Amino acid sequence: MKDIIVVEHRDMPVRDRGQRHLAAKGFNVRLVAPFRGDVLPELDHDTAGVLIMGGPQYVTDLDDFPYLRDEMDFAGRVMDRGVPLLGICLGGQIIAAHMNAKVDDHPDAHAAFGYYPLRPTEAGKRIIPEGLCVPAGNVQGFEVPPGATLLAEGEVFPNQAFRVGEKTYGLQFHPELTRPILDLWQDVLADNHGRPGAQSREVQDAGYAAHNDALHEWYIGFLDRFSR
Residues 6+ apart with CB under 8 A from 185: 113, 137, 177
Mean per-residue pLDDT of the chain: 97
Whether the Cβ atoms of residue 148 and residue 181 lie closer than 8 Å to each other: no
Contact between 65 and 101 (Cβ < 8 Å): no
pLDDT at 134: 98
**Nearest Cα residue to 93 out of 120, 151, 153, 53:** 53
- Does domain 3-226 match CATH 3.40.366.10? no
Q: Tens of pLDDT along 160-208?
A: 999 999 999 999 999 999 999 999 999 999 999 999 999 999 999 999 9
By percentage, how much of the chain surpasses pLDDT 70?
Answer: 100
What separation in angstroms does the CA of 138 have from each of 95, 177, 189, 190?
16, 14, 9, 12
pLDDT one-digit tens code per residue, 87-121: 999 999 999 999 999 999 999 999 999 999 999 99
Please state, in angstroms and rounded to a whole number, the distance separating the CA atoms of residues 107 and 80.
33
Beta strands in 77-201 (DSSP E): 85-88, 103-105, 112-117, 119-120, 133-138, 140-142, 149-153, 159-164, 168-171
Looking only at the bridges linking them, the beta strands covering 159-164 and 85-88 are: unpaired
Residue boundaries of the structural domains of the chain: 3-226
- The pLDDT-based confidence of 44 (bands split at 50, 70, 90) is very high
Tell me the C-alpha distance between 150 and 206, whole Å. 29
Is residue 153 pLDDT above 90, yes or no? yes
The 8-class DSSP code of residue 140 comes to: E
| pTM listed for this prediction | 0.97
Q: Which residues pair with 6 in a beta bridge?
A: 31, 51
Q: How far apart are CA 174 and CA 22, in angstroms?
A: 16
Residues recorded for the chain: 228
150: pLDDT strictly greater than 90: yes
Rounded-to-integer distance, Cα 222 and Cα 175, Å? 10
